[in-house]
Structure 1
């Protein structure tokens, strides 16, 4: 299975109306959806070799799932950063935005520059991408310096208010992930969340309240820096040992 046509045929044979309905709820037109789950796409990606050339061909089809698969086939170490960044112009849903950030854009050396450039961008998914990248950095950057974390928290606190749900939820997500890094990060994130909750701006209030709800559930686990929810499997198993 080395050609786009073969891959598309495979996807069509593994499609379902259930997933097609889920995709259309995201705003993707039915004609641009095959109805294939992300789980199935990941299984297929493991069978295929990373290929930037094949990824480009898949991205250039009009199918949503082909774009999701495309990102999984990109070799992040050899990809042209300019081309990778240019993919954002085709993003029209929050799932593709987050998928692109998590699996590709975060691995570019200049991802912090993208955060700075996009955090006040008026384009919906560019702005979401800025905070999606912060959330991914909070999870994956184990060596994040305190100054960098402070800079991210400041970006969240000072960001231009945005009433669009896909932006508000991304800002909250970024704040919540930063607060889970360790105890000190948690304390700092709680301060920011409370300031947002006390803001005169209803959108910032929403973000602060949303983050604080999750922060109230977080507990430390012995021999683990990252905090977890007391209601999670790990929290229930090891929470009383902290």
Structure 2
């Protein structure tokens, strides 16, 4: 399968309605084909998985081709140079989050990306740091010490008024709180501390996180806390 064949297949599978949704994410019209991510996940299993081929697919600049690249890349084959090259080509939150969940969180040293990017002045690098914290809470066994470290990072670096950063910071705060009851209380304490900051961004993040954190409960058979508003949570 060639790159041209992949693009032809994507164009044949495109939807004008879905294309408009993608453009709303900030993707230029000329780099949008209009294929749902659910379809791309199925198609990604059929394309070559050689890194050089996938990096060439990325270079087409089509949003869908970039998603296919991230879905098909083998995390352990990605060098730090590859990671920074891909990060520099990300221009939407969905691709940023997908890259974090599919590639970055599976790196042995993912934590150093959090530490390096958490105070970045680049939108998607900073969002990635918060997204990784959110993803870490479900992909790794976090110690109390590590949870405390991440909560501290969130509080220290939440003075950023960019909406995509604020949403990711709130997400990270909430996901850490779902780890266990102690983490929930620590996350609530962090959020309340953030409410006292002068930063409007920190206040926004705290308020958003506190919509869910106090509602978290432990359900039988679940390792993580869930919302008491969920179907299972209502029975707790």
* TM-score in terms of structure 2 length: 0.95
Which stretch of structure 1 is more off in the superposition, 118-127 or 216-225? Answer: 216-225
Alignment of 1:108-147 (within 5 A): 108-141=107-140, 143-147=141-145
* Helix, strand or coil at the partner of 1:226: coil
Q: Aligned partners of 2:27 and 2:49: how far apart in 1?
A: 26
Residue in structure 1 matched with residue 155 of structure 2 by the alignment: 157
Q: Aligned partners of 1:84 and 1:120: how far apart in 2?
A: 18
Tell me how far 1:108 sits from its aligned partner. Answer: 1.4
Give aligned pairs, total: 236
Deviations 1:193-242 (A, max 9, x none): 11112222211111111000011332111232201112223324xx33xx
Tell me how far 1:93 sits from its aligned partner. Answer: 1.1
Residues 120 and 160 in structure 1, CA contact (< 8 A), matched pair in contact too:
no
Residue in structure 2 matched with residue 55 of structure 1 by the alignment: 54
Q: 1:14 to 1:207 in 2, by over 3 A?
A: same
Q: Aligned partners of 1:140 and 1:105: how far apart in 2?
A: 11
RMSD of the TM alignment (CA)? 1.4
Deviations 1:157-202 (A, max 9, x none): 1115111101111111110110011111111101001111222221
Residue in structure 2 matched with residue 183 of structure 1 by the alignment: 181
Deviations 1:61-107 (A, max 9, x none): 12011001100110112232321232111111111111111111111
Residues 41 and 69 in structure 1, CA contact (< 8 A), matched pair in contact too:
yes
Tell me how far 1:31 sits from its aligned partner. Answer: 0.6
Residue in structure 2 matched with residue 9 of structure 1 by the alignment: 8
Q: Aligned partners of 1:201 and 1:4: how far apart in 2?
A: 47
Matched, 1:37 2:36: yes
Residue in structure 2 matched with residue 215 of structure 1 by the alignment: 213
Which stretch of structure 1 is more off in the superposition, 196-205 or 56-65? Answer: 196-205
* Helix, strand or coil at the partner of 2:198: coil
* Helix, strand or coil at the partner of 1:213: coil
Tell me how far 1:22 sits from its aligned partner. Answer: 0.8
Give the gaps of 5 or more residues in structure 2: none
Matched, 1:85 2:108: no
Q: Aligned partners of 1:82 and 1:235: how far apart in 2?
A: 44
Q: 1:234 to 1:55 in 2, by over 3 A?
A: farther
Q: Aligned partners of 1:7 and 1:234: how far apart in 2?
A: 42
Give the gaps of 5 or more residues in structure 1: none
Q: Aligned partners of 1:114 and 1:31: how far apart in 2?
A: 31
Residues 159 and 201 in structure 2, CA contact (< 8 A), matched pair in contact too:
yes
Residue in structure 2 matched with residue 203 of structure 1 by the alignment: 201
Which stretch of structure 1 is more off in the superposition, 196-205 or 129-138? Answer: 196-205
Q: Aligned partners of 1:229 and 1:86: how far apart in 2?
A: 38
* Helix, strand or coil at the partner of 1:225: coil
